[in-house]
Every structure is written in C-alpha cells, then in structure tokens.
Copies of this chain bind each other. A is one copy, B any other.
Amino acid sequence: MAYKRTPLMQERLADNRERIVGATRLLISRGGFREASIAAVAHEVGLSTGAIYRYFPSKAALFVELLTAAVDSEILVLRGITDRPLPAAVRLREAVESFASRALKGPHLAYAFIVEPTDPEVEAARILCRRRFGAVFEDLVRQGVRRGEFPAQAADVTAACIVGAFTEALVRPIATEGPSSQPADRKLVRAIAEFCQRAVGAAATAAPRRRA
C-alpha cells in the first residue's frame, strides 16, 4: 500500500504503456478499428480492462496516441529522406517508396489512418496527422519548384494528392484476399512512386530503372 516508485517500476509502467499501444496497433492492423475493443486490447497485453485506464484516460486517447506515435516515427523517417542534398525528384520517389513498402506490411494499420474512426476526438487527431504527412511532401514539392525541378503548382494540393494517391493504391490490396507476394508488392511500390514523380512534373528525372 505504501509504495515508493522505484526506477524499475517506472520502467515497467512505461513498458505497459507501450505494450498497450503495441497491442492496439496489432489488433487494428489485423482487423481494423472494429477489432480493437478495450477488452481485446487488455487481453492482448495480459492486463485487465481497468488497468488500461490507468495508462490512458479513454479509448479515444489511446487511439490518438497510437496515431500520433505512428505518424511521428513515420515522419522522422520521411524527413530523413527528404532532407538529404539530392534532387527533389529522387527524394520524392524514395520517400514514397519508403512509406509505401512499410505500409504494405501492416495493411489495416495504414488503412486505419485514413479511415473514419468511431470517435470525434480521434477524428481530429487523424486529420492533424494527415496534415503533417502532407507538410512533408509540401516542403519537398516547394523546394523542387523553387529549384526549377518541378513546374509551378499548388504545392499544398499536390502534397495532399500524393498522400491520397499512395494511400488509395495501398489500401486496394487489403480488400483483395491472398497474402501479398513479395514481387507484386515491390511492383506496386515502384508504380506508385513513378506516379508521384510524374505527378509533380519531374518528368525527365524519374527514369533510373534500377536504383539501389
């Protein structure tokens, strides 16, 4: 009853927090939001439903955190790609490919990001996340235009379209049954990347067939 919080416990708590988020991510990637009830999450982490509420004030808060965390790490990776001193077209292609191939591995999860959640609170977070994704590409497009690599265009719209484009293209295979074959996935990723390159108007630069 009179516990002192030892570092070990702190860690365990943090662990639980992450494990909860992880379990939620797993469940969503398996069966969408529908499958991620608090009971299911609790069962997955091996805690009680009540315990979940020790770490998150509500289901919505849990979802928001999951969303935010996923997007945070994703954006980190994307920025790592788009900040390098390379032609914008190359960076664009690589960013898209990078995002797409990761997304293909946890299909329903990527799905859930565009999907209408049950809760207005989560909805707000979702929109924010999309904005942040868009921002990465918007920056990139703006750079490309400034440098004359891409033609003049509404960078914000282009960015939104890019995000939408690859999400749609990625979501499609989810509906289709049959486990994704490796080569098919790679083909898809490449096609999406090429689409995006053309879409920003980076016509000439886009052709390096066999990039490492």
Protomer copies: 4
Assess A168 versus B172: contact at CB under 8 Å? Given A195-B199, A198-B198.
no
Residues of A at under 8 Å CB distance from B?
A: 32-34, 111-112, 114-116, 118, 123, 127, 130-131, 134, 151, 153-154, 157-158, 160-169, 171-172, 175, 187-188, 191-192, 194-196, 198-201, 203
Most B CB atoms within 10 A — which of A194, A196, A198?
A: A198
Decide: B191 and A153 in contact? CB cutoff 8 A.
Answer: yes
21 A-B contacts (beta carbon < 8 Å): A114-B168, A115-B115, A116-B116, A130-B168, A130-B172, A134-B172, A153-B191, A153-B195, A154-B188, A158-B191, A160-B168, A160-B169, A160-B172, A161-B199, A163-B168, A164-B166, A164-B169, A165-B199, A168-B168, A198-B201, A201-B203
User: Closest approach, in angstroms, between the C-beta of A155 and any C-beta of chain B?
Assistant: 9
Residues of chain B with a CB closer than 8 A to A187's CB:
154
